[in-house]
Amino acid sequence: MSILAYDLGASSGRALLGRLTDNKIETQEIHRFSNDPVQVGSRLQWDILRLYHEIKQGLLKAKHQGVQVQSMAIDSWAVDFGLVAGNGELLGNPYHYRDLHTEGIMENMMKELSPSYIFERTGIQFLPFNTIYQLKALKEAGSPLLQQAERFLMIPDLLRYFLTGEMLNEFSNVTTTQLYNPLRGQWDQDLLRAVGISEGLFGQIVHPGACAGQLLNSVSSELGVPSIPVIAVAEHDTGSAVAAVPALQKSFAYLSCGTWSLMGTEVDEPVINELALKLNFTNEGGVGHTFRLLKNIMGLWILQELRREWERAGVTYSFPELVKLAEEAPAFGSCIDPDDPLFLHAGDMLPRIQQYCRQTGQKAPEQPGEVVRCILESLALKYRYVLKLTEQVSSQQFNGLHMVGGGIQNLLLCQWTANAIGKPVWAGPAEGSAIGNLIVQWMAQDVFSSIWEARKVIADSFPVTVYEPEQQEIWNEAYGRFLHVTGLTEYR
Does 275 lie in the same domain as 216?
no
The kind and range of the H/E element at 344 are none
Nearest to 462 by CA among 486, 492, 491, 436: 436
Q: Does residue 375 fall inside a structural domain?
A: yes
Does 225 lie in the same domain as 316?
no
Q: What's the Rg (C-alpha) of the chain?
A: 22
Nearest to 442 by CA among 292, 290, 287, 289: 287
* CATH number where 326 lies: 3.30.420.40
- Is the four-CA dihedral 473, 470, 383, 289 of positive or negative sign? negative
Does 255 lie in the same domain as 183?
no
Does 275 lie in the same domain as 139?
no
Is 378 exposed, middle or buried, given 0-12, 13-18 or 19+ CB atoms closer than 10 A? buried
The residue among 235, 258, 278 that closes a domain is 235
pLDDT digits (tens, 9 = 90+) for 376-388: 999 999 999 999 9
* CA 295 remoteness from chain centre: 11
Catalytic residue among 237, 268, 340, 460: 237
Nearest to 406 by CA among 304, 484, 266: 304
pLDDT tens per residue across all 492 residues of the chain: 899 999 999 889 999 999 999 999 999 999 999 999 999 999 999 999 999 999 999 999 999 999 999 999 999 999 999 999 999 999 999 999 999 999 999 999 999 999 999 999 999 999 999 999 999 999 999 999 999 999 999 999 999 999 999 999 999 999 999 999 999 999 999 999 999 999 999 999 999 999 999 999 999 999 999 999 999 999 999 999 999 999 999 999 999 999 999 999 999 999 999 999 999 999 999 999 999 999 999 999 999 999 999 999 999 999 999 999 999 999 999 999 999 999 998 889 999 999 999 999 999 999 999 999 999 999 999 999 999 999 999 999 999 999 999 999 999 999 999 999 999 999 999 999 999 999 999 999 999 999 999 999 999 999 999 999 999 999 999 999 999 999 999 876
Nearest to 433 by CA among 233, 173, 237, 155: 237
**CB neighbour list of residue 102: distance below 8 Å, 6 or more residues apart:** 128, 129, 133, 134, 137
Q: Does residue 380 fall inside a structural domain?
A: yes
Q: How far is the C-alpha of 295 from the C-alpha of 226, rounded, in Å?
A: 41
The residue among 235, 266, 281 that closes a domain is 235
Q: Quick check: 65 and 30 in contact, CB under 8 A? A: yes
Domain hosting 74: range is: 2-235
Q: Does residue 104 fall inside a structural domain?
A: yes
Q: Does residue 452 fall inside a structural domain?
A: no
Would you call 237 a catalytic residue per the annotation? yes
pLDDT digits (tens, 9 = 90+) for 107-132: 999 999 999 999 999 999 999 999 99
Does 384 lie in the same domain as 301?
yes
Is 288 exposed, middle or buried, given 0-12, 13-18 or 19+ CB atoms closer than 10 A? middle
**Helix pair 368-394, 319-328: axis angle to 10 deg:** 90
**CB neighbour list of residue 6: distance below 8 Å, 6 or more residues apart:** 13, 14, 15, 55, 58, 72, 73, 74, 75, 437
Q: What are phi and psi of 295, to 5 degrees?
A: -135, 135
The Cα-based distances of 35 to 53, 282, 465 in angstroms read 12, 27, 29
Q: How far is the C-alpha of 282 from the C-alpha of 224, rounded, in Å?
A: 43
The residue among 172, 205, 235 that closes a domain is 235
Does 354 lie in the same domain as 221?
no
Q: Average pLDDT, whole number, for the chain?
A: 97
Does 252 lie in the same domain as 210?
no
Does 166 lie in the same domain as 19?
yes
Q: How far is the C-alpha of 324 from the C-alpha of 157, rounded, in Å?
A: 40
Q: Does residue 179 fall inside a structural domain?
A: yes
Q: Does residue 113 fall inside a structural domain?
A: yes
Q: Quick check: 223 and 56 in contact, CB under 8 A? A: yes
What secondary structure does DSSP assign to 374-393, as a single string?
HHHHHHHHHHHHHHHHHHHH
**CB neighbour list of residue 142: distance below 8 Å, 6 or more residues apart:** none
Q: Quick check: 203 and 192 in contact, CB under 8 A? A: no
Strand 401-404 with 149-154, pairing = unpaired
Q: What are phi and psi of 228, to 5 degrees?
A: -90, 160
